Structure 1
Amino acid sequence: MELTWITCLGIFFSILGVAYAILVERYRRVWEKMSEWKIPPGYTPSVLVSVVIPARNEASGIGACLDSILQQQYPAHLFEVIVVDDDSSDETAAIALQFADSRISVLQPPGTPLPEGFVAYKKRALETGVSKAKGDLILTTDADCVLPPHWLGLMASCYERKGWHCITGPVAFHREGSLFERFQSLDLLGMMLITGAGMRMGLTHLANGAAFGFSKAAFEEVGGYSDISRLASGDDLLLLHKIMARYPGKTGFLKTTQAVRTEALGSLKAFFQQRVRWGSKSRSYSDRKITAVLALVFLLCWSVLLSLALLFWLPWYWLTIPVVLIVSKTWADYRMLRSAARFFKRMDLFNAFWPAQALHILYIAGVGLASNLVVRYKWKGRRVK
């Protein structure tokens, strides 16, 4: 009976490892077949763009963010910037107001009383900005981000030439110092590959509001955030899912080396809270294929940990199981992350690959569990869910 139990568990764990390696390798191959989007030769912009920036207590970054937008290589008369100050307690709004540029406006969400248990503060800020936007194309970013000089042109040309109603683009960390920050950066590059390849495969796992765009018409057509306001997060991915359902084949990932830049988190606590916030959206996914992929990754990481723990009680030949799991995951991750790092010209991050492997297993196992068990978490000084 004991042998049967051990054998069945070992087979199950091994299947998880092999399935993970096959899936990740497929993502990598799809990614490498995708063409990089570049502004087409002779492209003349014609679409009016509204950049909406929800900001809460971002005094340290809002200035650099606005500078990077005003320096965009895009016709000045074809874009506006709307900063929505989400009840900041610092100088965020004051700094934004110091910019003497008619293209920048600073708004605040309406002061109407909020219902008990309200958590969708960021969505409320975004809706405020979108409602005042004059542009046909809405682009969102975060107040702690810096945009590459051709970002507006890349997003606008993609929108005009491809006819997409929703576009998500790459985000990357910069100015990494510690090993922990390099781990975050390498991990995020992998997420960008998964995002792009996943969308090409019809599996929309991720989207990032720091590099996000949608047509105002599509936003209004799907009702904005009206039925996804029960969660604090999801202003990007859950909206993308709604637009995908309404406009099949009219959404996509903009593959470009010109990633929106921000800084990695400095503490493990902040990192954990961020990933729990990201993971909390998974409970609202309706696509079973996406849920199955997330479950596979989660179960694989727990299988590695459990198989190592069982070494203390099971026969010596059990050692083959954690070896199979670790080799499968490491082989697949190495090839995927190397492909992503090469494309984004960040091979310097690869010295963090080996320690990142151990951290990745631990954080996926922990965050995956917490995302489904933690009801409320702290985000920008607020307790939300």
Structure 2
Amino acid sequence: MLSFYLIGAFVYCILLGFLRAKWLSAASKERYFEKAKLSATLLIPVRNESQNLDSLLSHLEKIEGEFEEVIFIDDQSEDDSFEKLQELIAKRKPFKLIRSAGSGKKAALQSGVHAAKTDLILTSDADCRWKSSWPQQMKVPFSDSSVQLVAGPVLTEKSDGFLAGFQLLDWASILLLTGFSFAQKKPLMCSGANLAFRKSAFQKVGGYAGNEHWLSGDDEFLLKKIHQFFGKASTHYQFRPEALVRTQSEPTWKALFNQRIRWAGKWRAHPSFSHFGASLAVIVMQLFWIASFLLLLEGDWGWIVFFLSWLLKCLGEYYSLERILEHYGEKSKKIHLFGTSLFHPLYSLRIGFGAIFGNYSWKGRSIRGNVNFELNGTDRRGI
């Protein structure tokens, strides 16, 4: 068992080094696109965001000129979000507020796509912040007519404390896997907080039809549909730091688990072997590290191997994730990286079991199971 763990730890480090090298290579060879004047619409779903609206409108000031329209879609808010937003945008020409025709984020986005006047659509969230360069960076790849969808990077905003540092590193690991999968022309995931697509492509693949009963996954399901229908050249990942979107970190561990379980809850909806294989590999890897504590029962050599294995894990994650963060002008604290390396296996398994068995709440909705609608359209949520 001792040699098994040493070999396993080395393989893990080599794997991280391979992913890092491929990611950095793809980022350094970012494809050049001809600049083109493209009209676009920005869609922002809103649910119970009253406290964030003033800040949202303030940050939108530096990018609103890049869009023909900015459409806010109210997803059945239970606070005064709709009324407050209606008042805030009353005299701001590019802004438009509509109510979602259904329930849930997919229904909100579907309503927004239907209302959009332009073929090019960008999506983000109400708790996000953007650089002035963001709209142009996401629009430019569409100068190639074969590109139907563009995904961009997302990181949490800078903040103190281990919880915020943990989330920053967790997002870095998501960026590592996302960028690598796009570089291999087999995209696994993307984020609706930083996404762009053609309305015509959205309509061609039927939008969210077939998976609208899943609470999350508006981004991933659309990505997979477009990639499968239009081919490998239809999806592109924008590595550039100028395309980075910042999102707020979750304020509590409970909120973070609820968010991640919601994301992971759609695992069974993906029919592709690559997605299933990646999910299975993550679970096996976390079990490997948790089981390593049995080495402490193997005497002095067990303690030595345990220490060396976890040292390799920490070093491999440091040199991989830190390089991703550096690409976006970010840096983590070493104590946060060490704590994240230790805690992440338990965190991942908690999310995995929560996605399979757990109930959770999100934005005032209590979810029983992982699906928000039955196949016949009946709402299973306690609202």
Which category of TM-score, normalised to the shorter sequence, fits these structures? 0.7 to 0.9
Distance 1:173 1:147 in 2: 12
Displacement of 1:264 after TM fit?
Answer: 0.8
Aligned counterpart, 2:61: 70
Is the contact made by 1:16 and 1:296 (CA closer than 8 Å) also made in structure 2? no
Q: Which amino acid aligns with 2:54?
A: G
Equivalent residue number for residue 194 of structure 1: 177
Q: Number of paired residues? A: 364
Q: Cα deviation per residue 1:69-93 (whole Å; 9 max; x = unaligned)?
A: 3322854xx5211101111122222
Select which of 43, 52, 55 maps to 1:61.
52
Shifted more, 341-350 versus 209-218: the winner is 341-350
SS of 1:332 mapped into structure 2 = helix
Task: Verify: 1:304 aligned to 2:289, yes or no.
Answer: yes
Q: CA RMSD in A?
A: 2.5
Report what 1:373 is aligned to: 357
Structure 1 position 289 matched with structure 2 position 274: yes
**1:337 partner amino acid:** L
In structure 1, C-alpha distance between the alignment counterparts of 2:156 and 2:360, rounded to whole Å: 24
Q: Where does residue 362 of structure 1 map in the other structure?
A: 346
Equivalent position SS for 2:97 = strand
**Residues 254-312 of structure 1, C-alpha deviations (whole Å, 9 max, x = no match):** 11213111221111101111111111122222222232232222212222212204634
Q: Which runs of 5+ in 1 are unaligned?
A: 1-6, 112-119
| Paired residues of 2:33 and 2:141 also in contact (CA < 8 A) | no
**The residue matched to 2:128 in structure 1 has which SS?**
coil
Provide TM-score, normalisation by structure 1. 0.86
C-alpha distance in 2 between matches for 1:271 and 1:88: 21
TM superposition shift of 1:147 = 1.6
- Partner of 2:12 in structure 1? 20
Gap change, CA 1:333 and 1:344, over 3 Å in 2: same
CA spacing shift, 1:41–1:165, aligned 2, 3 Å: closer
Q: Confirm or deny that 1:139 pairs with 2:122.
A: yes
Q: Provide the secondary structure at the position in 1 that maps to 2:72.
A: strand
TM-superposition CA deviations, 1:111-140 (whole Å, max 9, x none): 7xxxxxxxx611011101111111111111
The Cα of 1:223 is off from its aligned counterpart by 0.6
Aligned-pair identity (%): 27
CA offset at residue 357 of structure 1? Answer: 1.1
Counterparts in 2 of 1:104-123, with a 5 A limit? 104-110=95-101, 121-123=104-106
Native 8 Å contact 1:37 1:256 kept in 2: no
Of residues 319, 337, 342, the one that matches 2:321 is 337
CA distance in 1, matches of 2:340, 2:137: 32
Equivalence for 1:103: 94
Contact 1:48 1:134 in 2 (8 A): no
SS of 1:236's partner is helix
User: What is the match of residue 259 of structure 2?
Assistant: 274
SS at match of 2:180: helix
Q: Which amino acid aligns with 1:281?
A: K
Paired amino acid for 2:213:
R
Structure number with greater CO (CA < 8 Å, separation at least 6) is 1
Amino acid at match of 1:180: L
Which of 161, 166, 170 aligns to 1:183? It is 166
Contact 1:73-1:152 within 8 A present in 2 as well: no
Distance verdict in 2 for CA 1:349–1:198, change over 3 Å: farther
User: In 1, distance between residues paired with 2:213 and 2:360?
Assistant: 14
Q: Alpha carbons of 1:18 and 1:255: their partners in 2 closer, same or farther (altered >3 Å)?
A: same
State the alpha-carbon separation in 2 of the partners of residues 347 and 84 from structure 1: 35
Residues in 1 aligned to 2:176 and 2:280: alpha-carbon distance in whole angstroms: 19
1:89 pairs with 2:72: no
- Aligned residue for 1:336, secondary structure, equals helix
Distance 1:193 1:305 in 2: 23
Aligned partner (choices 158, 163, 178) of residue 141 of structure 2: 158
**Cα distance per residue 1:330-382 (max 9 Å; x no partner):** 232111112112111112544521112112222112212222222x4211111
- Alpha-carbon distance in structure 2 between the residues aligned to 1:60 and 1:37: 41
User: Residue type of the partner of 2:221?
Assistant: L
Amino acid at match of 1:88: S
CA distance, structure 1, for counterparts of residue 117 and residue 334 of structure 2: 43
1 CA distance for matches of 2:280 and 2:8?
10
Correspondence list, 1:166-245, <5 A = 166-245=149-228
Distance 2:159 2:258 in 1: 20
Alpha-carbon distance change, 14 to 222 in structure 1, aligned in 2, over 3 angstroms: farther
The alignment partner of 1:107 has SS state of strand
SS of 1:209 mapped into structure 2: coil
The residue aligned with 1:4 is none
Distance 1:283 1:13 in 2: 31
The answer for unaligned runs of 5 or more in structure 2 is: 371-383
- Please list the CA deviations of residues 143-198 of structure 1 after superposition, one character each: whole Å capped at 9, or x if unmatched: 11112111111111122247421111111111412121112112212321221122
